[in-house]
């Protein structure tokens, strides 16, 4: 047994620079993580009422999302409002808790580009499988579920089930 370790240590001493190089190359060629901000579109809805001053709405939305970018990174949640009625704009966004802060920021930066396509409507909602955003011309922050939210929940569950077919199985049934 001693002879085996002696031979192994002399072999290591002979090839040490080569082994170090191989380990070094392997360490830097392995992708240790792959960010997945989960930006598959689940649903997008826009309001039916039109804004009175669309240019103000775009300006308000840009200001709000600029502010929210740092907030969403830190907390995975952000909301802000600005402007004067009737075109005051309220925006709320949130990420799923399993996203990292970086993934959440990526999800938000992509999802926030879709709400302006609802304008000149007074608001809209966009749901990705990793985050969501809502914008309206009234304070909706304390609202419970609206009737259209049940459709979103069903679409979200269908998306989960299509990606992970065994996700909803209990105890192997």
DSSP notation for 46-106: E-SSBPS-HHHHHHHHHHHHHHHHHHHHHHSEEEEEES-TTS-EEEEEEE-TTS-HHHHHH
According to CATH, what is the number of the domain 41-163? 3.30.430.20
Q: What percent of the chain has pLDDT over 70?
A: 64
153 band by pLDDT with thresholds 50, 70 and 90: low
What are the extents of the domains in the chain? 41-163
Q: Comparing 12-16, 51-55, 134-138, 148-152, which segment has the lowest mean pLDDT?
A: 12-16
pLDDT digits (tens, 9 = 90+) for 105-152: 999 999 999 999 999 999 999 999 999 999 999 998 888 766 666 666
Of 83, 48, 43, the C-alpha closest to 62 is: 83
Query: Token digits for 112?
Result: 């926030």
pTM value?
A: 0.68
Q: Comparing 8-17, 119-128, 159-168, which segment has the lowest mean pLDDT?
A: 8-17
For helices 54-75 and 101-111, the axis angle rounded to 10 degrees is 170
């Amino acid at each position: 047994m001693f002879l085996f370790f002696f031979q192994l240590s002399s072999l290591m001493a002979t090839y040490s620079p080569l082994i170090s190089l191989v380990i070094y190359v392997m360490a830097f060629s392995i992708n240790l993580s792959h960010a997945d901000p989960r930006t598959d579109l689940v649903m997008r809805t826009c309001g039916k009422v039109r804004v009175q001053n669309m240019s103000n709405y775009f300006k308000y939305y840009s200001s709000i999302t600029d502010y929210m970018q740092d907030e969403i990174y830190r907390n995975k949640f952000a909301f802000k409002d600005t402007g004067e009625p009737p075109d005051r704009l309220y925006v709320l966004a949130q990420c799923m808790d399993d996203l990292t802060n970086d993934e959440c920021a990526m999800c938000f930066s992509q999802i926030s580009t879709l709400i302006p396509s609802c304008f000149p409507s007074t608001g809209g909602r966009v749901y990705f499988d990793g985050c969501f955003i809502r914008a309206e011309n009234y304070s909706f922050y304390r609202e419970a579920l609206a009737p259209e939210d049940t459709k979103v929940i069903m679409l979200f569950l269908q998306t989960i089930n299509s990606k992970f077919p065994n996700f909803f199985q209990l105890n192997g049934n």
